[in-house]
Amino acid sequence: MKNEKIYVTKPSLPPLEEFIPSLEAIWNNRVLTNGGPFHQQLEQELCNHLGVKHISLFSNATVALLTALQALRVTGEVITTPYSFVATSHSLLWNGLKPVFVDIDPVTLNVDPAKIEAAITQQTTAIMPVHCYGHPCDVDAIQKIADLYNLKVIYDAAHSFGVEDERGSILNHGDLSILSFHATKVFNTFEGGAIICPDVKTKTRIDQLKNFGYVDEVTVVAPGTNGKMSEFNAALGLLQLKYIKLALERRGLIDGAYRERLRGVAGIECLDRSGETVSNFSYFPILVRPDYPISRDGLYERLKENSIHPRRYFYPLISSFSMYRSLPSSQPSNLPVATEAAQQVLCLPIYPDMEMEIVDKVCALIASLSTGAFTASRDI
């Protein structure tokens, strides 16, 4: 571990030798993409593993988000959260839709259902919430509003692989959910993503949209895109699935160790996981509150000086980027909770093969700065 840089994540990989037979099969078959055998098998195995009805695999979650909006023919305005990765609202702009930002709940950091209704207009057709860090949104409250106003609900569930509430997979809520299988995610296929949908008809439309809109050799029914996952990525996904239980167990241990060691450190708050019966421990966000002796950015710099590279997910807020800033809903006065969270959050390193001594080092540093053992100033 000496002098080694520790990043917020390190992608999980299965043993290389176990991947060789899949590569040989691809080389022998010469089926490289367009819904080949590995692709079909991964869709089926993921449905079984996650407890969902239908999955359509994608080349990444961003194209999946773009396609989900097309599949449901969303128009006009979409209510969403400013506290996410930019891909969430970029998918709206790419579809010619207007994002309407609604503030977040201070405990979950997910969109606050109590603030959604006030943002609904005649043009609103959908809500796109994010299960941020994999923590479930208040799905019942959101669905109630959607039903009342006849709105679609598309969950950006990029962080939510395997998360369950007391009714099973969190991915079964809303009209569609989108997963990311990017290298930095709990379950990765290098690049990849998926749409979870409840019926065959919707899956068929999504499958057409990700294949240029083709229905058969001579029929194109929509201006679809190319969002297909290749056989290489699908074969890797099948192998990753074999190891996912182990990976989540390791993440759970690290999450628990962080919580234990940071308990009682004044000014440091770990995010609550209530509402999840099964967690995936995809991120370890802490909030650096004003009673901590140095600012979040100060702590970020101190950790980096010690070879620890946490990330400020999600700072800056999406609403502050130039392409969103002029929207009326982007005003910081409309988003006080999100604005504060973006100033205070720090995602600490968490990944399956992370040594416990890294947790010890990170927590010792955070605790020692708290007691003023380091020369500390909130102005750093």
CB of 371 vs ligand T4K, minimal distance in Å: 29
For ligand T4K, give the closer residue by CB, 188 or 334: 188
Q: Choose the binding region for ligand T4K from 5-13, 243-251, 257-265, 323-331 (rule: CB under 6 A).
A: 5-13
Q: Which of 39, 135, 173, 182 is close enough to bind ligand T4K by CB under 6 A?
A: 182
Q: Which residue has the tokens 């770990």?
A: 270
- Between the CA of residue 244 and those of 33, 40, 46, what are the distances in Å? 24, 19, 11
CB of 190 vs ligand T4K, minimal distance in Å: 8
Task: Answer whether 339's CB lies under 8 Å from 319's CB.
Answer: no
For ligand T4K, give the closer residue by CB, 10 or 98: 10
Q: Are strands 193-197 and 54-58 parallel, antiparallel or unpaired?
A: antiparallel
Contact call for residue 154 and ligand T4K (CB under 6 A): no
Contact call for residue 60 and ligand T4K (CB under 6 A): yes
- Between the CA of residue 376 and those of 193, 283, 310, 366, 373, what are the distances in Å? 42, 27, 19, 11, 8
Q: Which of 79, 87, 97, 286 is close enough to bind ligand T4K by CB under 6 A?
A: 87
309-368 residues in contact with ligand T4K (CB under 6 A) are 309, 311, 313
Q: Which of 1, 11, 21, 316 is close enough to bind ligand T4K by CB under 6 A?
A: 11
| Rounded Cα–Cα distance for residues 139 and 292 (Å) | 33
Residues paired with 110 in a beta bridge: none
| Rounded Cα–Cα distance for residues 212 and 223 (Å) | 6
- Say how many residues touch ligand T4K, by CB under 6 A: 24
Residue 14's SS3 state is coil
Q: Which of 156, 175, 231, 255 is close enough to bind ligand T4K by CB under 6 A?
A: 156
For ligand T4K, give the closer residue by CB, 191 or 293: 191
Helices (H), the chain: 16-29, 37-50, 61-71, 87-94, 139-149, 200-209, 231-262, 296-305, 336-344, 356-370
CB of 64 vs ligand T4K, minimal distance in Å: 8
Task: Answer whether 192's CB lies under 8 Å from 57's CB.
Answer: yes
**Which residues, at least 6 apart from 232, have a Cβ–Cβ distance to it below 8 Å?**
23, 26, 32
| Rounded Cα–Cα distance for residues 348 and 359 (Å) | 9
User: What mask, x for binding ligand T4K by CB under 6 A, covers residues 114 to 143?
Assistant: ----------------x-------------
CB of 375 vs ligand T4K, minimal distance in Å: 28
Q: Is 185 among the residues known to form the active site? A: yes
Contact call for residue 62 and ligand T4K (CB under 6 A): yes
For ligand T4K, give the closer residue by CB, 11 or 316: 11
CB of 236 vs ligand T4K, minimal distance in Å: 13
186-245 residues in contact with ligand T4K (CB under 6 A) are 193
| Rounded Cα–Cα distance for residues 144 and 153 (Å) | 11
Q: Which of 56, 70, 81, 84 is close enough to bind ligand T4K by CB under 6 A?
A: 84
| DSSP string covering 236-266 | HHHHHHHHHHHHHHHHHHHHHHHHHHHTT-T
Q: Which of 185, 210, 228, 361 is labelled catalytic?
A: 185
Around Cβ 352, how many Cβ atoms within 10 Å? Answer: 21
Cite the active site residues: 185
Which residues of the chain form contacts with ligand T4K (CB under 6 A)? 7-11, 60-62, 84-85, 87-88, 130, 156, 158-159, 180, 182-184, 193, 309, 311, 313
